[in-house]
Structure 1
Amino acid sequence: MDAIVATFQPLWQSKNGFRLKNLGNHIVLFIFDSKTDVENILANEPWSYDNNLMVLQRYEADSKVENLSFNLTHFWVQVHRIPVRFMNKRVAEGLCETAGQVCHLQNAPTEDGGSFMRVRVLVDISQPLCRGRVIAFDDSREQWVTFKYERLPNLCYWCGCLTHSDKDCDLWIESEGTLPESEKRYGSWIKASPFNGKSKSVLSVLGFYASKATKQTGEHSQRPTLHAPVADKSN
């Protein structure tokens, strides 16, 4: 429990702090006084502890812990290899419906990352991660579109599940440790590089004359207003 506090106290930066209660079976109850802290923490999923995924679930006072389902987590999914002319919000979100439930949130909009599209998705971690999908064109051509997941913790490279490691996978155990590396369906390529939102990947530039007109308008608005002096005649 002390290690959990040491991990998340500097990450969450909770204004009023929080309390922990060990409920057993790898379940820890976090108690916050601030609703804002809770919303911020959930909005910034996924979180991991010791490089293993930590699944969060809201808990109401009258709920039973055993009824909670810890199988859904939000991820930012980067969609790579979309043809440039199809790189838009509608296409990216349509593709990501294969990976999970696309989230249409004001504070987490789909973004253009330059060479990829970035979509917020609620992923069912009881299933293997979706690696991507095939898209078809009108001329019968096909192309593979790749999914990469941001802040992805440890996962099984044999089957793509986040619920166990390579050595605990049924495929590995059934083979008695003889599966060759070439049988792995996943690799480090599924982990996306950190996204730098401050770096501008897409810019819109005004036309030459529109830009010049805007600049001139700005110059006129900044010029000081001149007033003719007024003589004050006192009796």
Structure 2
Amino acid sequence: MEDELEKLWAGFSLTDREKQEVVMPTLDIHESMKKGRLCLLAQVTANKVVNREAFKSTMSKVWKPEGWIRFKEIGENQVLLEFQKEQDKGIVIAGRPWSFDRMLACLEEFDGCTPLKEIPFAFEVFWVQVHDLSLACMTKDVGVQIGERIGTMLDVEVDGSGVGWGQFLDIKVVVDITKTLIRGKFISFQQRQLWHPLKYECLPMLCFHCGIIKHAKRSCQKDDQATRLSEGSQPQYGAWLRTNLSKNVGSFSRTYGGVPDQPPQDNWQRWRSGEEILKVSGRDITNSQQHSNERESSKFQANDVGLGKIANSEGSIFQKREEIVVDKVEPKKEAPYLEEIMDNLGKISKSE
């Protein structure tokens, strides 16, 4: 139908009034573009018209947003999703891919400058598992190289050291759903070339004849009587491309026993072991553990001039100036000595 309309429009001769151009100022669409930041475009890749109300009800329950979601139909199996809160939109994007009735719900960012019919809905994010890898190859660098040959590379599931040991290496990529899915890759390592199968997490329905998720037309060009698989032949695509393992078992580990990592030997560790370091005019003054009793009954006061650091007897660090003078203050006497009282009483009695 669309091809027929394009041919019909191509044969029209425009009048002078129809040729007049309407120039749209940027300010007139500013509010619309601002509102579009909280929107997504979605298309269900089905060969038939899906139940619109069922799609709205199901997806709103699956996403569980804190705010409301407004669904606006923009085409056949296409909707515009408007979110009340930006965090709800972020959760939907982070959880891709999404499926409805086993069919992919392909998402696109809001694009206010492109006509709806030109939005391709041709790309979707998938976590792809690379199986049968050696442990030495389960690294971020290897994952990036493989991911770049599958689609647009996004992420590799590894630990802090860049290693992703486990049953498989998990790679996040953007896949072109209008092309045949890649079933595996040959990887050469130490003069050995091995085949490593790929499995797709949350993979929706796809065509087992051509391996494509979304056809350019409603029906598959290879799905006819002449190209159907004959009896006894091996299918080229199937449900084995889909995996139920959404988490890499090997990526979760726990360490038992041993001594936890210690901080480096520095002034802080020396203080924790019973020593106190004070920086005075570029020199270290160390009060060792043998003076701990003396520190209990006395405190250090610092008069500062310039910019520098000083630690008090409790180990706190204060921002001070360059030169620091450290004076030891004797503890205050809480009461006069008994001897002085007796002397004063004696002097008074003699004078009387």
TM band (smaller chain): 0.7 to 0.9
**Matched-pair contact (CA < 8 Å) for 2:127–2:170:** yes
How well do the aligned residues superpose, as a CA RMSD in angstroms?
3.5
2-structure distance, mates of 1:38, 1:202: 28
> Which residue of structure 2 lines up, in the alignment, with residue 163 of structure 1?
214
> Which residue of structure 1 lines up, in the alignment, with residue 181 of structure 2?
129
**Matched-pair contact (CA < 8 Å) for 1:78–1:116:** yes
What is the CA distance between 1:110 and its match in structure 2?
Answer: 2.5
- Provide closer, same or farther for how the CA distance between residues 181 and 51 of structure 1 changes in structure 2, counting only shifts above 3 A: farther
Greater CA drift, 175-184 or 92-101: 175-184
- Provide closer, same or farther for how the CA distance between residues 205 and 168 of structure 1 changes in structure 2, counting only shifts above 3 A: same
- Provide closer, same or farther for how the CA distance between residues 169 and 15 of structure 1 changes in structure 2, counting only shifts above 3 A: same
**Matched-pair contact (CA < 8 Å) for 1:159–1:184:** no
**Matched-pair contact (CA < 8 Å) for 2:126–2:172:** yes
> Which residue of structure 1 lines up, in the alignment, with residue 85 of structure 2?
34
**Matched residues, number:** 221
Where structure 1 has 5 or more consecutive residues not aligned to the other structure, the ranges are 215-220
**Matched-pair contact (CA < 8 Å) for 1:158–1:183:** no
Give TM-score scaled by structure 1 length: 0.78
- Provide closer, same or farther for how the CA distance between residues 155 and 135 of structure 1 changes in structure 2, counting only shifts above 3 A: same
> Which residue of structure 2 lines up, in the alignment, with residue 173 of structure 1?
224
1-structure distance, mates of 2:260, 2:88: 46
2-structure distance, mates of 1:172, 1:155: 13
2:60 corresponds to 1:14: no
CA deviation profile, 1:197-232 (whole Å, cap 9, x unmatched): 7x6635475894xx1675xxxxxx8xxxx9989xx9
Greater relative CO (CA pairs within 8 A, separation 6+):
1
CA deviation profile, 1:12-55 (whole Å, cap 9, x unmatched): 11221111122222211111222222222112110111100111
Q: 2:94 aligns with which of 32, 35, 43?
A: 43
Which SS does the other structure have where 2:65 is aligned? coil
- Provide closer, same or farther for how the CA distance between residues 11 and 213 of structure 1 changes in structure 2, counting only shifts above 3 A: closer
Q: What pairs up with 1:224-235 in 2 under 5 angstroms?
A: none
Where structure 2 has 5 or more consecutive residues not aligned to the other structure, the ranges are 1-51, 159-163, 263-271, 273-292, 298-332, 337-352
What is the CA distance between 1:173 and its match in structure 2?
Answer: 1.0
> Which residue of structure 1 lines up, in the alignment, with residue 157 of structure 2?
110
The answer to which structure has the higher strand fraction is: 2
2:106 corresponds to 1:59: no
1-structure distance, mates of 2:104, 2:97: 7
2-structure distance, mates of 1:181, 1:6: 43
What is the CA distance between 1:93 and its match in structure 2?
Answer: 1.9
> Which residue of structure 2 lines up, in the alignment, with residue 193 of structure 1?
244
1-structure distance, mates of 2:229, 2:247: 41
